């Protein structure tokens, strides 16, 4: 067989050989894609591959969870495994519950998709407090931030269903927000974390008919949060922050708490995908230096007005520049056109 192939190849021209090699490359590419997709792996348009990491994921049926040392997840407080969900808290007052991964995460670029359900008997705005998703240095700590510790080190994503700060007229709840903590900053519960958050969005996630999902992507130090809560099966932008620096070896978790007001806070699935992204050598070096979580630039909600003023100035400046550019183009155009006419006239006479 091999000798036959060699004989065939020898007899064909180089041009044909080139075509053969091109065709075989296509076939290999096609096979790779076919095999990849049959493995249940998704591909982005821009060539980013994602792989489900089972050790950091939770989904039905929630087998092998709990106290056995072989399980990847550990329970805390009043959280409990039910056939259809992990109930972080039932619809009862003053309850806390959490679930924490036992395995530190060394995946640099990832996407987390969470299906959750918040529901209860309470009337609108008579329910609380919400739930949080974590990627933190410490795990299994009971505290005041949706059932987990304050002054945390790492990333917290909050699904806040109760407005504690009555002055928040411009925010409609439930409100989803994100915070990066370095261990010395406090989440201010009375202000719904307003003083430290990286922004967020309103999302009607309580007592809904349709399934509710949250997507958190951390790719090349960019934090993106999206929601799918309208039953439209599409991701809606919620938050997008570049320059978020998170060290390696932190733990994923989810927690919830009720107070005077309550809800059922259910985690249905928690799926972590590793994203494979190419990095430049500079980006590689950047990552190695991260020892404490930080954000390069946080838009302080208190200086928003000033920022807006600045952006109006920028727009004005851009406008002036474009007007000048337009004038220059017209003048040059007219000049060239005149010269062209001049030349033609010269040729005619």
Report, in Å, the least distance between residue 256 CB and ligand NAG: 26
Return the residues of window 287-346 that contact ligand NAG according to CB under 6 A.
292
If the CB atoms of residues 73 and 116 are measured against Ca ion, the closer one turns out to be 116
If the CB atoms of residues 150 and 164 are measured against Ca ion, the closer one turns out to be 164
Taking residues 145 to 164 in sequence order and writing x for each that binds Ca ion by CB under 5 A, - otherwise, the string is ---------------x-x-x
- Beta-carbon contacts of residue 253 (< 8 Å; ≥ 6 apart): 98, 99, 100, 101, 133, 134, 135, 136, 139, 148
Tokens of 139: 């795990």
Tokens of 237: 């932008």
Q: Could you say which of Ca ion, ligand NAG, none residue 219 binds, taking C-beta under 5 to 8 angstroms by partner kind?
A: none
Return the residues of window 173-232 that contact ligand NAG according to CB under 6 A.
182, 184-185
Strand ranges (DSSP E) for 196-337? 200-202, 212-219, 222-228, 236-241, 244-245, 251-257, 264-276, 294-295
- Whether residue 291 contacts residue 138, with contact meaning beta carbons closer than 8 Å, is answered with no
If the CB atoms of residues 200 and 293 are measured against ligand NAG, the closer one turns out to be 293
Burial of 141 from C-beta contacts in 10 A (0-12 / 13-18 / 19+): middle
Report, in Å, the least distance between residue 237 CB and ligand NAG: 24
- Whether residue 63 contacts residue 57, with contact meaning beta carbons closer than 8 Å, is answered with no
**How far from 187 is each of 135, 191, 277, CA to CA, in Å?**
15, 9, 32
Q: Could you say which of Ca ion, ligand NAG, none residue 292 binds, taking C-beta under 5 to 8 angstroms by partner kind?
A: ligand NAG
Q: Could you say which of ligand NAG, Ca ion, none residue 192 binds, taking C-beta under 5 to 8 angstroms by partner kind?
A: Ca ion
- The residue at minimum Cβ distance from ligand NAG is 182
Q: Could you say which of Ca ion, ligand NAG, none residue 160 binds, taking C-beta under 5 to 8 angstroms by partner kind?
A: Ca ion
Binding positions for ligand NAG, rule: CB under 6 A: 182, 184-185, 292
Site for Ca ion, rule CB under 5 A: 160, 162, 164, 192
């Amino acid at each position: 067989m091999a000798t036959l192939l060699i004989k065939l190849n020898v007899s064909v021209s180089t041009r044909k050989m080139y075509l053969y090699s091109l065709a075989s490359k296509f076939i290999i590419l096609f096979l790779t894609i076919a095999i990849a997709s049959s493995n249940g792996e998704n591909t982005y348009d821009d060539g980013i591959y994602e792989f489900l990491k089972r050790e950091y994921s939770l989904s039905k049926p929630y087998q092998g969870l709990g106290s056995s040392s072989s399980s990847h997840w550990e329970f805390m407080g009043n959280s409990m495994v039910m056939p259809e969900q992990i109930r972080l808290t039932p619809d009862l007052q003053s309850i806390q519950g959490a679930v924490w991964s036992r395995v530190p995460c060394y995946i640099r670029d990832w996407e987390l998709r969470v299906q959750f359900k918040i529901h209860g008997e309470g009337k609108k705005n008579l329910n609380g407090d919400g739930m949080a998703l974590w990627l933190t240095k410490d795990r299994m700590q009971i505290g005041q931030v949706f059932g987990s510790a304050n002054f945390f080190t790492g990333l917290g994503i909050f699904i806040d269903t109760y407005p504690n700060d009555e002055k928040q007229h411009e925010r409609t709840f439930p409100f989803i927000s994100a915070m990066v903590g370095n261990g010395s900053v406090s989440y201010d519960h009375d202000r719904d974390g307003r003083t430290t958050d990286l922004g967020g969005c309103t999302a009607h996630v309580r007592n809904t008919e349709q399934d509710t999902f949250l997507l958190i992507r951390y790719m090349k130090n960019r934090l993106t949060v999206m929601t799918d809560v309208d039953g439209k099966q599409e991701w809606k932008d919620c938050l997008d922050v570049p320059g978020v620096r998170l060290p390696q070896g932190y733990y994923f978790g989810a927690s919830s708490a009720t107070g005077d007001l309550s809800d059922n806070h259910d985690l249905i699935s928690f799926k972590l995908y590793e994203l494979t992204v190419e990095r430049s050598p500079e980006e590689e070096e950047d990552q190695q230096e991260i020892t404490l979580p930080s954000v390069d630039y946080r838009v302080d909600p208190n200086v928003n007005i000033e920022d807006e003023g600045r952006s109006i100035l920028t727009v004005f400046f851009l406008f002036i520049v474009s007007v000048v550019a337009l004038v220059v183009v017209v003048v040059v155009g007219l000049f060239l056109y005149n010269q062209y006419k001049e030349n033609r006239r010269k040729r005619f006479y």
